Structure 1
Amino acid sequence: MTIGGRSNSVARHLSRFKLVTFDVTDTLLKFSRPPEIQYALAARQHGCVEINEQAIARSFRSHFKRMARDYPNFGKRSENDWLWWWRTLVMDIFRDSHSHIDETMLSRVADQLIENYKTRDCWSEIELASSVMEIARTHCNKVGIISNFDPRLSKILETMALPKVDFVLTSYETGILKPDREIFNIALRLCNTVVLPSEALHIGNTPKLDYIGAKNAGWASVLVNVTNEAEREISFNPEINPKHVFKTFGEFIQMLQSEQTIW
């Protein structure tokens, strides 16, 4: 999909924004395989047998929730670092779901997965993500990333060959998780020119972390690539304007090309 002869409409929609930022996971990129499949592949590559993906999936959900609760932001405020956080998560998942695997092997599998998730093998670009980033670059002064992620993110974005951005803000490196408004304030300060909150747009896929987080910081925001689960949350939330919700980037581009007004 291209903007063709409708660039005037796109410019009209985006002209008020000096800064556009994007979330990453399930906004620009998605997992190439579900985690349980990726974890099982890594275990088998290290000679582990009798791997059950469904058991991994069940353990992943419970242990990820526990780690995020007990050591939020990948352990940023704890005495340990993000590498410890992920190694602990992976090893606890396998201890719970596959108790026959010894500790030495679990350590190898954990280290392998941490490296794998820097590569193209674990990620794929969401359709039209690059196109929307290029549109933002054409019509706005600055383009950035704001993501609840660990320090691997810049390497992942480079590996996936997404269009270059002016800055990448991760929750781990800033010490601040979305939806805290301060991470959005930091993004404004990184622009090296005065950008008011009303002149910034954030694009993400989660109602609370992205849309409401940006809105509470005084920004405009849209939701894209919205799941059925998120749609149910949105339908009961009066803070979310339905005009700002798009199932796909294709729908968002169509809006930009249209005469309708959503801001």
Structure 2
Amino acid sequence: MAIGIGSSRVAQNLGRFKLVTFDVTDTLLKFSRPPEVQYAMAARLNGCTGINEQALAECFRTHFKRMARNYPNFGKSSGFDWRWWWRSLVMDIFRDSHTHIDETMLRRVADQLIENYKTKDCWTKVSLANEIVEIAKACQKHVGIISNFDPRLGDILEAMALPKVDFVLTSYDADSQKPCCRIFDLALSKCNTHVLPNEALHIGNTPKLDYMESKSAGWSSALVNVTLEAEREISLNSEINPKHVFKNFDEFIHVLESTEVAW
């Protein structure tokens, strides 16, 4: 029996909710290795040499922010295909890192990475990810995924063998991304019974995208697996209840099992 399943206290703490949703990246799943390492591996497998992983890391941060700003939601908001978005990002990262790869090879590396990130080679589960999803299911909740992601997410969840959920809602398919409240409103309509905003709980790891915006949509929220940077942001934000912030799923499950949570 998984942790927390069958606990009357857990059932009480989740009692007001009909719907429980999860973010994915760094909430349920995380990268198996940093992007710069994954990118360098793909390039080397294609015969490329002279790759500077530190330069790739710096260029990844710069160009990811630029692409997200100029072409939001993986290009969907600008009328571009998500594959074009990632291909452009990867190729710009390699060009800017002064890795000497001809354009034909560069496109091949980019396309390989797009496919690689659909597989379990690039991902690993966060500790107790399976258990927390199973707890929500055992409490007879509708369970969903809400994630700023492209259409590959379904393939990734299947490859990683996460427990089946009732729906997966990506920002690309929803044509709306966190921190927009609309994606949370749309999630309510994915349930086969009527669910009010105050009957929904969202669990994620980022203060603005997950906690603040789900609260703005009228939901309850919990932050789990927060980074040091996020902890600093939380400490400066009086609107985030520190009792809704947990270091990891182990701590979150322990609280659900042992304490009355005031949502």
TM-score, normalised with respect to structure 1: 0.97
Q: What code does the residue aligned with 1:212 have?
A: M
Distance (Å, rounded) in 1 between the aligned partners of 2:21 and 2:99: 43
SS in 2 for 1:131: helix
SS in 1 for 2:246: coil
Q: What code does the residue aligned with 1:46 have?
A: N
**Equivalent residues in 2 for 1:100-139, closer than 5 Å:** 100-139=100-139
1:198 paired residue number: 198
2:147 paired residue number: 147
1:228 paired residue number: 228
Deviates more, 1:214-223 or 1:99-108: 99-108
1:72 paired residue number: 72
**Structure 1 residue 141: deviation in Å?**
2.6
SS in 2 for 1:238: coil
SS in 2 for 1:169: strand
Distance (Å, rounded) in 1 between the aligned partners of 2:22 and 2:261: 21
Are 1:19 and 1:140, in contact at CA under 8 Å, matched by a contact in 2? Answer: no
**Equivalent residues in 2 for 1:1-263, closer than 5 Å:** 2-3=3-4, 7-263=7-263
**Structure 1 residue 260: deviation in Å?**
3.0
Q: What code does the residue aligned with 1:147 have?
A: S
Sequence identity, in percent? Answer: 70
**Structure 1 residue 99: deviation in Å?**
4.2
SS in 2 for 1:112: helix
SS in 1 for 2:168: strand
Distance (Å, rounded) in 1 between the aligned partners of 2:261 and 2:161: 32
Are 2:215 and 2:221, in contact at CA under 8 Å, matched by a contact in 1? Answer: yes
Are 1:20 and 1:140, in contact at CA under 8 Å, matched by a contact in 2? Answer: no
Structure 1 residue runs without a partner (length 5+) = none
Post-superposition CA distance 1:32-54 (Å, at most 9, x none) = 00000000000000000011100
Runs of 4+ in 1 over 3 A off after TM superposition: none
Distance (Å, rounded) in 1 between the aligned partners of 2:79 and 2:230: 34
SS in 2 for 1:76: helix
SS in 1 for 2:202: strand
Q: What code does the residue aligned with 2:114 have?
A: I
Q: What code does the residue aligned with 1:101 have?
A: I
Distance (Å, rounded) in 1 between the aligned partners of 2:190 and 2:4: 29
Distance (Å, rounded) in 1 between the aligned partners of 2:202 and 2:237: 19
Distance (Å, rounded) in 2 between the aligned partners of 1:185 and 1:140: 21
Count residues with an aligned counterpart: 262
Cα separation, partners in 2 of 1:79 and 1:259, compared to 1, 3 Å: closer
Are 1:24 and 1:147, in contact at CA under 8 Å, matched by a contact in 2? Answer: yes
Distance (Å, rounded) in 1 between the aligned partners of 2:164 and 2:188: 18
TM-score, normalised with respect to structure 2: 0.97
**Structure 1 residue 262: deviation in Å?**
2.5
**Structure 1 residue 192: deviation in Å?**
1.8
SS in 2 for 1:136: helix
Are 1:17 and 1:140, in contact at CA under 8 Å, matched by a contact in 2? Answer: no
**Structure 1 residue 259: deviation in Å?**
2.9
Distance (Å, rounded) in 1 between the aligned partners of 2:26 and 2:162: 14
